[in-house]
Each structure stands twice: as structure tokens, then as C-alpha cells.
């Protein structure tokens, strides 16, 4: 299966979650065993030589490929969630999205100074959610951070919000 085939498999849903937003539904990739394997292999190949010790997944679609990749890399998995979902002491960050404001949290002990962290989510649009996630992880002073998305919406230029020392990659660019 090629990247072209993966891109064609993504379902587009207009006016979701609000009018004017075109939602890219990656669950079509997850239900197809060949597409899921291709995503897993591609992500592994992108990060297998980076020394990743923790994969951070962003609620909720980052919880699908994030643990798969963590397992393949021999790394731990750390979830970033909406407020009130994590049971231990948390840190949080608020941010603006293209259609509102939100807050995310992670466990205060999720990352250490010895970790090399790869943050993962499904889609890079304006970059607000992932930038907030990076700000959370930076508070833990990891050795290095990488950012990954399944899809980048190039016309929105979301990569511009990230610091230059953070490598940002996507499997697909639309």
C-alpha cells in the first residue's frame, strides 16, 4: 500500500465538528489491516534510529498509533488528555484551536530528563494542540523532542508554530 493509497483511504467529512471545517477521518485507515500495518511500518522506520524512550499520544486519536509505535520502539507510552481524566498529579496547558479554546493535561511524572520523546497525533492543522503538548513536555526537560502526525494540512502552515529545535514530520501531506 502506498502513501497515495493511504491518502485516498481517508474519509472527508464536511462541516464537522462545526460548519466550515473539513474533517479528515483517519479511522478508515485504522479499520483496514493493510493500512494500519503500513502506518505502523512507516512510523517505525521514521523513528527507529532516534533513541525514543517515550511516545506521547494526544487524546484521542493519538492513543491509537502512539502505543503501537511505542511497543515497536521498545518505549513507554504517556497519554495527554482533557482535564479530569488522569488520576495522579497533573500539569496542564490551555491553547486556541481553529474552532475554540481547550485545555490538556499530562501526569507530572510522565516524562523525565533522561527521556527522548516523540509526540504523536493524527492531524496537524494550525498546530495549537501539539504546541500545547510540546509546552507540557518541555516542562519535564527531556533530552530531545520529536513531533509526528499522520496527516499535515500544508495550506494551514501549522509547522510554523514549533520551535526550530523540534523535528516535525508527517506520514502524509494534504
Check 38, 61, 81, 93 and give the catalytic one. Answer: 61
Check 92, 93, 98, 164 and give the catalytic one. Answer: 98
Query: Do residues 80 and 133 make contact, with C-beta atoms less than 8 angstroms apart?
Result: yes
3 state DSSP class of 26: coil
Q: Would you tell me the crossing angle of helices 62-73 and 33-47 to the nearest 10 degrees?
A: 60
Phi, psi of 61 (to 5 degrees): -70, -20
> Which regions of the chain does DSSP assign to beta strands (E)?
11-14, 22-25, 54-58, 76-80, 90-97, 100-107, 116-124, 144-152, 167-173
Query: Do residues 71 and 95 make contact, with C-beta atoms less than 8 angstroms apart?
Result: no
Phi, psi of 46 (to 5 degrees): -70, -30
For residue 158, which of 123, 133, 118 has the smallest C-alpha distance?
Answer: 123
Distances (CA, A) of 77 to 13, 20, 62: 30, 34, 11
98 is catalytic: yes
Catalytic residue IDs = 61, 98
Amino acid at each position: 500500500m502506498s502513501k497515495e493509497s493511504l491518502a485516498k483511504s481517508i474519509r472527508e467529512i464536511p462541516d464537522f465538528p462545526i460548519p466550515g471545517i473539513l474533517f479528515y477521518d483517519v479511522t478508515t485507515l485504522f479499520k483496514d489491516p493493510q493500512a494500519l500495518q503500513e502506518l505502523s511500518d512507516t512510523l517505525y522506520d521514521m523513528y527507529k534510529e532516534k533513541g525514543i524512550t517515550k511516545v506521547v499520544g494526544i487524546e484521542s486519536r493519538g492513543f491509537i498509533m502512539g502505543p503501537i509505535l511505542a511497543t515497536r520502539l521498545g518505549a513507554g507510552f504517556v497519554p495527554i488528555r482533557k482535564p479530569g481524566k488522569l488520576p495522579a498529579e497533573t500539569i496542564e496547558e490551555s491553547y486556541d484551536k481553529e474552532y475554540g479554546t481547550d485545555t490538556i493535561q499530562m501526569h507530572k511524572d510522565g516524562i523525565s530528563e533522561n527521556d527522548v520523546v516523540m509526540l504523536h497525533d493524527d492531524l496537524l492543522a494550525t498546530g495549537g494542540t501539539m504546541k500545547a503538548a510540546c509546552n507540557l513536555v518541555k516542562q519535564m526537560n527531556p533530552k530531545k523532542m520529536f513531533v509526528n502526525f499522520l496527516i499535515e494540512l500544508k495550506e494551514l502552515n501549522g509547522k510554523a508554530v514549533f520551535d526550530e529545535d523540534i523535528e516535525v514530520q508527517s506520514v502524509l501531506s494534504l
